[in-house]
Amino acid sequence: MTYSAVGATCVSDRVWTAAPVGYRRFERTTCIGQGVECWDVAAAAMGRWTIKTRSGFSVQPSIGGEPAVREDQDYTLLAALGPCTLREPVRVVAVVARPDRRGFAYGTRQGHPVSGEEAFVVHRSPDGAVWLTIRSMTRPGRGAWRLAFPAVLVAQRWYRRRYQRALVS
């Protein structure tokens, strides 16, 4: 892992109070639909990397690993940028699977453009509304990635907008 605050996005917690010092903190919650059917589809999607794949990423599990989201398993996220493919090594560091809250967080491994953690959680309220919460804490990656950090921040904003629409029913 490229950071020490593993699990700091607190996927199980309804309220995220703070990211460690030195990280850019982001959190946004968006209503993605209403009702049991919306919940069932969104909750199932959390276990299959759907939010990433519908946002333009491919997901490769480690050798011998499962394609489904599994805690403590390594993956490589692949983002096509024109003729180039950006490889982002990650590890799933937390999974939540409760009747009203489903999601996961992954942390960055060596070679990722940033250092930190990103979390995706769907949850539902008593009135039947289904919500997506995205949390991240990031700082510049190592080596040449440190120089590219301003461009990486632009890409993060672009992908976050895609994530917010990826599960809308």
The model scores a pTM over 0.85: yes
Domains and CATH numbers, the chain: 24-166 (3.30.530.20)
Q: What is the CA radius of gyration of the chain?
A: 15
pLDDT in tens, 21-49: 999 999 999 999 999 999 999 999 999 99
Average pLDDT of 136-148?
A: 82
Phi-psi category of residue 166: left, alpha or beta, with phi > 0 → left and psi -120 to 50 → alpha: alpha
pLDDT in tens, 72-96: 999 999 998 778 888 999 999 999 9
Which of 128, 158, 138, 124 lies closest to 29 in space, CA to CA?
A: 124
